Amino acid sequence: MHLCVDMQNLFLPGSSWATPWMERVLPTVTRLAAARPDRTIFTRFIPAERPGQGRGRWKPYYERWADMTLEALPDHAIELVDPLRSFVPPAEVIDKWVYNPWSQPQLERILVARGVEDLIISGAETDVCVLAAVLGGVDRGYRVILAKDAVCSSTDATHDAVLSLFGRRYNQQVEVLCVEEILSRWMIDEPIG
């Protein structure tokens, strides 16, 4: 399965949470999702309704980011970016209210029901929600394949540090591959890697 993390309007240029590289990796992410939309799950990060909502440290977080709460954002902000939205259905969407997509039991239920062992991960941001997705997949025993040219971040330094961390520290559990290599094997049902 392909797990595409938080490729939403919320993170496009002009937003307080803009991820500058998103537009640059979007064609690569799109190629990956288009290859097997029926084997793709998109996650969406859903902010708090209003400032000060949330548990624990999320309360001051949303006070700091009051302009990024649902009451302040346009309705389309939480939607997937074009053209990814066109893949749903057959692709599925899972909403989450924290960085970690595994906080939603629906994700693992889908993967177990389909007998998934390998999980390809793409999306935003490398050093936040993608990091949480990868580590959650590792914890659950999935073979995790990070599409290194289909992830993006707000900062080069932390993006590069996370890719280095996966390649060096987690190399027994996380494979870091280019989309071209993933697609060449996935399209003919060969094992990836």
Residue 60 lies in a domain: no
Residue 54 lies in a domain: no
**What pLDDT, on a 0 to 100 scale, did the predictor assign at position 185?**
83
| HSE, side-chain direction, 13 A CA sphere, residue 30 | 14
For the segment 151-177, what is each residue's pLDDT rounded down to a tens digit?
A: 999 888 999 899 899 988 898 999 999
What is the pTM for the complete model shown? Answer: 0.94
Q: Give the confidence band of 102 by pLDDT, cuts at 50, 70, 90.
A: very high
pLDDT, average across residues 20-33:
96
Q: Nearest-5° angle of CA 19, CA 21, CA 24?
A: 140
Residue 85 lies in a domain: yes
Domain count, the chain: 1
Domain assignment of residue 41, given as a range: 2-47+81-186
- The CATH code of the domain that includes 154 is 3.40.50.850
Residue 103 lies in a domain: yes
Cα–Cα distance between 136 and 66 in angstroms, integer?
29
Q: Which helix (H) or strand (E) holds 23?
A: helix 22-35
Residue 93 lies in a domain: yes
